Structure 1
Amino acid sequence: MGGPDKLSDAERAAAIAAFEKLGICTQLAEAAAGLGWKAPSNIQEQAIPVLLAGQDVIGLAQTGSGKTGAFSLPILQALMDKPQEHFALILSPTRELAIQIAEQVEALGSGIGVKSCVLVGGIDMMAQAIALAKRPHVLVGTPGRVVDHLSNTKGFNLKQLKHLVLDEADKLLDMDFEQEIDQILKVIPRERRTQLFSATMTNKVQKLQRACLVKPVKIEVAHKYSTVDTLRQQYVFIPAKYKDCYLAYILNELSGSTFMIFTRTCDSTRRIALLLRNLGFGAVPIHGHMSQPKRLGALNKFKSGERNILVATDVASRGLDIPSVDVVVNFDVPQNSKDYVHRVGRTARAGRSGRSVTVVTQYDVELFQKIEHLTGVKMEQFQAEREEVLLLLERVSDAQRLATMQMKEADVGKKGKRKADDDDEGAGGGNRGGPKPKMGGGRRKY
């Protein structure tokens, strides 16, 4: 699960030719193939020629559609023609997404020496100011922190900016960044190229479009709430009191896969990560109450393959580019059906197959029906024999008790005892498992 997929020589040649056909220069086409991209995605095919022609774009595309490549490649190509500092600003709603966009920009631009700088909260302002002094070409950040630097970092301005990108614009506006975006728009040149990407076209997004884009070309690549055809969508209908037990059973049945498990609250994320580690699964949590270094640490453990289960709240469900997630488990059915589409967008990306399993209790039936109505997909039932599942009950109950105790210990912080591990990593420090015999290792070891 670590790096990009390696292409064969024939695939690489075909990929380079496909990107060159869109107008991308050979050097950048080779960089795209180097990231394992076999061909331009739908959004890339439609947006790149328009952007290379110097027009503003509003792109409506679902998560996992290759938006980052669509806006990055034309910016990098323009930068090659006229290198300058502060050439482009990419605004993102979350810290993780900003960091990830910067990684992809640097990977695509490695051959041309592109320097990027990430401006996000949770990381020291002074360290970022030092990075800004090194005159980076591309700035990627959250609106709040960009405004902080415009106000407080001596010598930093965006008067030379040539490209502005608003990624996940609907989320930017949902998170009340309107004021900060307005402040940024006031201090950047009117003569610039602007790109706006959004999963949905809301009234707020339309208003923002009118404020910052000039005669944009609208590109829409999918039904706004559709899920991809390569995704196998399943559900399991269960009594609420056995939720944890069924989760352990699902993970055991599909062992050998990489998982993202979505929960509704930060506490639930912590509890589930602890519970699973106590059962021997390699789980890490990521949620809004973790410090930025811990969130990135957990994410990197998952991306590198050191852990195979990421337990997350919806803060992580938008835009995180985690390659090859095999299975998404909706442990809690999302309150908002649109969040379901974003969650399951973590798997079956870029033409790969994937699976989602939604855990439905007697309290979730209405929410579940709303999801099926929104997506237009009738989910199939995940086969789980109750008797077989309940064989795990005793071990799961023990793990639950231990997880509750670990959370209390971490919250009280008894003499700092393993506080960081218990809170953000789950029990057991660096060890992948809890009590033996392990459940998480092989298939159906009860």
Structure 2
Amino acid sequence: MAGPEEATTSTPSSSFKSLGLIDPLLQALEQMQFKTPTEIQTQALPHALEGRDIIGVASTGSGKTAAFALPILQKLWDDPKGLFACVLAPTRELAYQISQQFEALGSTMGVRCAVIVGGTDIMAQKVALAKRPHIIVATPGRLDDHLEKTKGFNLRGIKFLVLDEADRLLDMDFGPVIDKILKVIPKERTTYLFSATMTTKVAKLQRASLSNPVRVEVNTKYQTVDTLLQYYLLMPLKEKDTMLVYLANTLAQNSIMIFTRTVNDASRLSIILRTLGFPAVPLHGQLSQSQRLGALAKFKSGGRKVLVATDVASRGLDIPSVDIVINFDIPTHSKDYIHRVGRTARAGRAGKSITFVTQYDVEFVMRIEKVIGKKMELWPSDEEEVSLLRERVQEAARVAAAEMRDQARAGHGKKRRRGGEEGGRDDRDRDDDVVEAGMPMKRKKGSR
């Protein structure tokens, strides 16, 4: 099979109209205050509107959702029959976000979307599917459940398949489920595959699912934006909790995202911060879907100034106004660092990132600095102020440990009563599970 045709790079078009979009979509874009196309939209839309398969290599925040949603909606306008397109996304939050963008862009057309993800009521989803939506946005595991168990539901009539964040879908071991889904959808379809990186797995998926695609690529080099100021803070492992509270105190007027490696730390730190009077909320894969959406809504609206998250929140989420990203745990992969700090300094705004570095992390920092091509600066700290906080933080950590034990006991009781009848293999976020399972516990002992 021939490789994908490379799209010729063009300068960004001055308007969406000149790209050939129809009036209903132009009206919606105007209402959403999308003035000019982004680079990925300028490159992808002309080929997509001609009916070509697309491989888009673009990072989060590049406008790729509209790059695949607009041509699908334009085609739907011409032929509005039944279930029209299926979008696969790696996480529940991203699925909801894609659905919201489809509904906003298709607002003048009356487009109907259904979100099919784990962690939510499967019966309500069956009802939503029975209403024949135009677009389904799904995580692969729960979609596979419905294909196997929901009477009358199939994807035999779809005209479009979108694989969004394909690299992450495959990192999370969804490959076998995606293969199953590819077997039950029409061969005659249009396919869009978007990925931040082109790994060998993604290239293999591309060969299996796309026909004579055009490849469009922006931001090919992994890098951080110039408006981001990047700092590190050196400390012994046992001081991490205290140092985090010190930063929360000195940066209290800012919106802050704190990234942890494990679900346990995301929960624990949010309790410590709340105990000490900081409006913090956790976001991780073991919360229910309504809790996760509620946490995001509170943070987006400014009702909570601090979001403590695992890497479930590092990619694909549109959180527009984060002032500071704190890496409580340094990510082991440089690309994860870039995705995390990419939550701030978006769309030309300034932002700061502060990475905690313990005696175990120096090698990781050097690796990250090599990839981003710049040295991080030392964040200044006041040792006297830090030492004044130490006792209060230790007390808050004891409160957090007790609260988490109570939550765990209550959770086990509920599970026994429920008997696990809800089912659905996509009811957990695989990224958090994999991370927790692979974490060497001795590294964490000092921070308790």
Shorter-chain TM-score above 0.5: yes
Give the structure 2 partner of residue 180 of structure 1.
177
Q: Does residue 124 of the first structure (1) align with residue 118 of the second (2)?
A: no
Q: d(CA) in 1 for partners of 2:276 and 2:158?
A: 52
- Kept in 1: contact 2:86–2:160 (CA 8 A): yes
What is the identity, as a one-letter code, of the residue corresponding to 1:271?
A: R
Q: Is 1:32 equivalent to 2:29 in the alignment?
A: yes
Q: Does 1:371 align with 2:368?
A: yes
Match of 1:231 among 185, 204, 228: 228
1:214 is paired with a residue of what secondary structure?
coil
The answer for the alignment partner of 1:108 in structure 2 is 105
Look up the equivalent residue of 1:148 and give its one-letter code.
D
Provide, for residues 400-421 of structure 1, a one-character-per-residue CA deviation record: whole Å limited to 9, x for no partner: 222222222322339999xxxx
Q: 1:324 to 1:187 in 2, by over 3 A?
A: same
Of 275, 280, 289, the residue aligned with 1:278 is 275
Whether the 8 Å CA contact 1:16–1:29 is kept in 2: the answer is: no
In the alignment, is residue 216 of structure 1 matched against residue 213 of structure 2? yes
Deviations 1:280-310 (A, max 9, x none): 1111111122222222222222223221211
Tell me which of 153, 168, 173 is aligned to 2:150. 153
For residue 95 of structure 1, the aligned residue among 76, 92, 95 is: 92
Determine the structure 2 residue equivalent to 1:18.
15
Secondary structure of the residue aligned to 1:21 is helix
Checking the alignment, whether the CA contact within 8 Å between 1:66 and 1:350 is kept in structure 2 is no
Match of 1:12 in 2: none
Instruction: Report if the CA contact (8 A) 2:13-2:37 is conserved.
Output: no
- Aligned 8 A contact 2:241 2:393 in 1: yes
**Structure 2 partner of 1:433:** none
2:62 aligned residue: 65
2:381 matched residue in structure 1: 384
Alignment partner of 1:80 is 2:46: no
CA contact (8 A) 2:344 2:351 kept: yes
CA distance in 2, matches of 1:70, 1:352: 23
Where does residue 202 of structure 1 map in the other structure? 199
Distance (Å, rounded) in 2 between the aligned partners of 1:324 and 1:109: 26
> What CA distance in whole angstroms lies between the structure 1 residues aligned with 2:27 and 2:388?
53
Say what the alpha-carbon RMSD is for the aligned residues: 2.1
Q: Structure 1 residue aligned with 2:297, among 284, 297, 300?
A: 300
Aligned structure 1 segments of 4 or more residues deviating by more than 4 angstroms? 414-417
Pick aligned residue for 1:358 from 345, 355, 358: 355
Name the counterpart of 2:420. Answer: none
- The answer to whether the Cα contact below 8 Å between 2:233 and 2:355 also exists between their aligned partners in 1 is yes
In 2, the alpha carbon distance for the partners of 1:156 and 1:349 equals: 40
1:346 aligns with 2:333: no
Displacement after TM superposition at 1:17 (Å): 6.3
- Aligned equivalent of 2:331: 334
Partner-residue secondary structure (3-state), 2:16: helix
Q: CA deviation at 1:138?
A: 0.6
Say if 1:52 and 1:156 are closer, same or farther in 2 by CA, change over 3 A: same
Report if the CA contact (8 A) 1:61-1:224 is conserved: no
In structure 2, what residue type is equivalent to 1:282?
P
- Counterpart of 1:427? none
Verify the 8 A CA contact 1:285 1:311 in the aligned structure 2: yes
3-state SS in 2 of match to 1:219? strand
Structure 1: runs of 5 or more not aligned? 1-14, 418-446
Deviations 1:260-281 (A, max 9, x none): 1100111111110001101111
Pairwise CA distance, 1:111: 1.6
1:191 to 178, 188, 191: 188
Residue 446 of structure 2 corresponds to none
- Whether the aligned pair in 1 keeps the contact of 2:164 and 2:193 (CA below 8 Å) is yes
Instruction: Identify if the C-alpha distance between structure 1 residues 255 and 20 changes in structure 2 by more than 3 Å, giving closer, same or farther.
Output: farther
The reply to whether residue 262 of structure 1 matches residue 254 of structure 2 is no
**CA offsets 1:200-259 (integer angstroms, 9 cap, x no match):** 111110000001111111111113422222222221122222212221222222222212
Deviations 1:148-183 (A, max 9, x none): 112221221212211110001011111111121112
* SS class of match (2:43): helix
| Equivalent residue number for residue 408 of structure 2 | 411
Matched residues in 2 for 1:246 and 1:34: separation? 44
Provide the rounded CA distance (Å) in 2 between the counterparts of 1:414 and 1:287. Answer: 16
Contact 1:62 1:224 in 2 (8 A): no
Paired-residue identity, %:
60
Deviation at 1:373, TM superposition (A): 1.3
Looking at structure 1, the residues matched to 216 and 412 of structure 2 have their Cα atoms a distance apart, in angstroms, of: 56
Task: Name the structure 2 match of 1:41.
Answer: 38
Alpha-carbon spacing, 1:353–1:50, altered in 2? closer, same or farther (3 Å): farther
For 2:106 and 2:67, locate their aligned partners in 1 and report how far apart those are by CA, in whole Å. 14
Hey, what's the Cα distance between the residues in 2 that align with 1:415 and 1:197? 39
Separation of aligned partners in 2, 1:371 and 1:325: 22
Q: Does 1:244 align with 2:241?
A: yes
Task: Tell me the equivalent position of 1:318.
Answer: 315
The amino acid of 1:261's aligned partner reads I
Contact 1:72–1:105, Cα closer than 8 Å, also in 2: yes
How far apart are residue 25 of structure 1 and its match? 2.7
Number of aligned pairs? 403
Q: Residues 367-411 of structure 1: CA distance to partner in whole angstroms, max 9, x if unpaired?
A: 111111122232222222222333322332232222222222322
How far apart are 1:35 and its partner, in Å? 2.9
**Scaled by the length of structure 2, what TM-score is found?**
0.85
TM-score normalised per structure 1: 0.86
Do the aligned residues in 1 keep the contact of 2:254 with 2:305 (CA within 8 Å)?
yes
User: Which segment drifts farther, 193-202 or 302-311?
Assistant: 302-311
Is the 1:31–1:111 contact (alpha carbons within 8 Å) kept by the matching residues of 2? yes
